[in-house]
Amino acid sequence: MAILLPKKTAHRKVRKGKNEGVATRGNTVAFGDWGLMSLDNERVNSRQIEAARQAITRYIKRGGKIWIRIFPHTPVTKKPLDVKMGSGKGEPQFFVAKVKAGTVMFEIADVTEEQAKEALRLAGHKLPVRVKIIKKENF
């Protein structure tokens, strides 16, 4: 699977904006049995998401099922090195997902508890946020 990128964006460049507070949506395990929940507010870029996905896939040896619950919609611009102040905003360089505390980023199913915990632990090391492994609550 290639790096995650939006097919089309409404605007090429967007403002930074804020990323504060806790997640009110996407904060429960919806599809799988185990989830990887963020404990921080941070921007996660598409390369980090892909690295975490690969870590999970490699550990469970392509068994089980994985869901990626975050998507990098937001473009981040950067100016080249040694460019003077002014002369406008830089060009879009990469895309990020704005992750809030409480967001479930990855879910996993059809694997044992030990496999799920270890796979998600390894994925957590690839991400710029502190994470918690959570189990689906069966009501």
CATH topology of domain 34-77+90-135: Aldehyde Oxidoreductase; domain 3 (3.90.1170)
Domain ranges of the chain: 34-77+90-135
Give tens-digit pLDDT for 101-130.
999 999 999 999 999 999 999 999 999 999
Query: Which helix (H) or strand (E) element contains residue 112?
Result: none
| Dihedrals phi, psi of 39, to nearest 5 degrees | -110, 0
Beta strands in 1-139 (DSSP E): 34-38, 42-45, 65-68, 74-78, 91-99, 104-109, 131-135
Give tens-digit pLDDT for 7-61.
999 999 999 999 999 999 999 999 999 999 999 999 999 999 999 999 999 999 9
Q: List C-alpha distances in Å: 52 to 49, 56, 78, 126.
A: 5, 6, 24, 5
pTM for this structure?
0.92
